[in-house]
C-alpha cells in the first residue's frame, strides 16, 4: 500500500462486499519485541460467514502500525 487513501478505499470496498461484521477477540499474545504482537480473533461477516484470524502487527513506534499480516481460516 503506497498511501493512506488506498487503505481507506480497500477498507470501504471490503465493507461493501462483506456486509456487516462482528469481531470477537480471542487472544492477544505479546512479543518479547515491543514492536510486535499477535492477535487471534473470530470474524463473522453478513455475506461471508465466520472465520478465525491470526493477525501479526508490527509497529515503527508505539503509535504507528508498519505492517499487518493476517491468516484467515474457516472456523
Q: Is residue 9 situated within a structural domain?
A: no
Q: Is residue 1 situated within a structural domain?
A: no
Per the CB < 8 A criterion, the answer to whether 18 and 46 are in contact is yes
Encode the chain (75 residues) as per-residue pLDDT tens digits.
Answer: 567 778 788 888 988 898 888 999 999 998 888 889 999 999 999 998 999 999 999 988 767 888 889 999 986
**Domain membership of residue 44 as a residue range:** 20-74
Nearest to 7 by CA among 48, 65, 62, 51: 65
Q: What are 34's three cell numbers?
A: 515491543
13 three-state secondary structure: helix
Q: Is residue 38 situated within a structural domain?
A: yes
How far is 50 from 72, CA to CA, in rounded Å? 10
Q: Is residue 6 situated within a structural domain?
A: no
Q: Is residue 67 situated within a structural domain?
A: yes
Amino acid at each position: 500500500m503506497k498511501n493512506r487513501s488506498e487503505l481507506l478505499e480497500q477498507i470501504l470496498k471490503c465493507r461493501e462486499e462483506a456486509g456487516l461484521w462482528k469481531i470477537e477477540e480471542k487472544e492477544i499474545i505479546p512479543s518479547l519485541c515491543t514492536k510486535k504482537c499477535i492477535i487471534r480473533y473470530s470474524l463473522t461477516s453478513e455475506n461471508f460467514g465466520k472465520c478465525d484470524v491470526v493477525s501479526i502487527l508490527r509497529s515503527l513506534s508505539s503509535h504507528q502500525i508498519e505492517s499487518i499480516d493476517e491468516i484467515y481460516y474457516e472456523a
